[in-house]
Structures are given as C-alpha cells and as structure tokens.
Amino acid sequence: MRRDPRLEIITEAIERLIPGATPAFLAVTVTETLPGTGEQTHTWTGRPEGLATRVFTALYGRPRTEDQRSPLARAEDAKRARDIVGEAGALMAAGSALESAPWYPCRPGDLVHVHYEATPAVPAFGETYIVGDAGDGLMSLQQLAHTLPGTVEDAAGMTGCYAADAADCPVYGLWFEAGPHRLTIVRDGRPVHVGGAR
C-alpha cells in the first residue's frame, strides 16, 4: 500500500536534520525546561516517523490507511484470486458507502471532478462534470472540462467517458470505476465529498 507523499516528505525532512545520518539509527527528543525550576524538564522521545505522523495528523488529519484502489479494481483482484466472497463484498461495500454518503443522492447542479493519476503514457489530469435533470426522475452527467494536455483529437476517447444522458445515479460509474478516493463533489459552491483528503 502506498504511503501519502506528504507524510514521506515530512519524515525525510526530520531525518535530514542530521546530514548523512542513517535513518534506522535516529531518534528525536523534544525537551521542555520549566522556567525557574532549574533542572525540572519534560521530554518526549520517539522515532522520526512517529514525529512525522504527529505533524501530519495536526496538518491533514490521520494518515490514510485504506485501500487506494477503486471498488471495481478490488473486486477484479478478488475475482482473479477466485474469492467470490471478497468480490461481492468489495462491490457491496462500495454500494453501501455511496448510498450512505450524507450528500447522496446527487442533485442537479452538483459538480463532480475526477482526478486521474499519471501513467507512463498519459500525464495526470482531471475532468469536471455537471449533474443535470434528465426528466422522469433521472439525472444526466455532462462533461464541462478536462485538463488533459494536447489537441481535441488526443483527448478523444480518453475523456468524457462517464457522461450519461439519463441515469438513476449519474456518479455510479465514477464511484465504482475511478473510485471515491479520486472524486470531489461540490454542491452549492461547497465541497460535500473530497476523496483525496480526509
């Protein structure tokens, strides 16, 4: 499982306080000497990664430990392992997480942004969609913009694939295929789901 790069940067910054030190042999000590008491002190001693985790938690919340794969990828991995219970469980858990989200169901006017990680062939990019009213209780999902560099021809077939003319839940495909950790949903100008952060 991949660690958060922000946590890695904080840990490395602490480890580099002593140039050329071997991280495995480092310890961090924070000392408080009380004024007017002379020798009375309080100390905290720990490993650099322990201090980094405390700093990270203060800045961003607890480090993410959950699986950063989409529900569909988890289900496919379970299927390859011939684990039918794991496959069904991954899909059912994702469905429950979607339907129990406080912002669910989507509403017309919701903005949905999906972030794609860089691959060897394609740089990191994002797409933004808007939820619309398709009538008869259904909703649409129309692409507004994308940040994939290059020409329109380059982006053809790589963007807009989650657009839907009419659906019960227009974010269903994005939630299961891209994964909730890659989605940001904005309602009335306020983020109601920020998948890339706690």
**Residues 138-193: tens digit of each pLDDT:** 889 898 888 887 755 555 667 878 888 888 888 888 887 888 888 888 999 888 88
> What was the pLDDT predicted at 1?
40
Instruction: With H, G, I as helix, E, B as strand and everything else as coil, classify residue 196.
Output: coil
Whole-prediction pTM: 0.59
pLDDT in tens, 11-39: 888 888 888 888 888 888 888 887 776 67
**Assigned token pair, 193:** 């789901």
Return the closest-CA partner of residue 172 out of 87, 79, 70.
70
Q: Judge whether 175 and 112 are in contact, CB under 8 Å.
A: no
Percent of the chain past pLDDT 90, that is, above it, reads: 6
Q: Rounded to whole angstroms, how far apart are CA atoms 79 and 82?
A: 5
Q: Rounded to whole angstroms, how far apart are CA atoms 130 and 108?
A: 8
> What was the pLDDT predicted at 152?
52
Q: Which amino acid is at 12?
A: E
Q: Which amino acid is at 65?
A: T
* Arithmetic mean of pLDDT over the chain: 81
The stretch 112-123 carries a mean pLDDT of 83
Give yes or no for residue 106 having a pLDDT over 60.
Answer: yes
Return the closest-CA partner of residue 97 out of 171, 189, 188, 191.
171
pLDDT class for 198, splitting at 50, 70, 90? Answer: very low
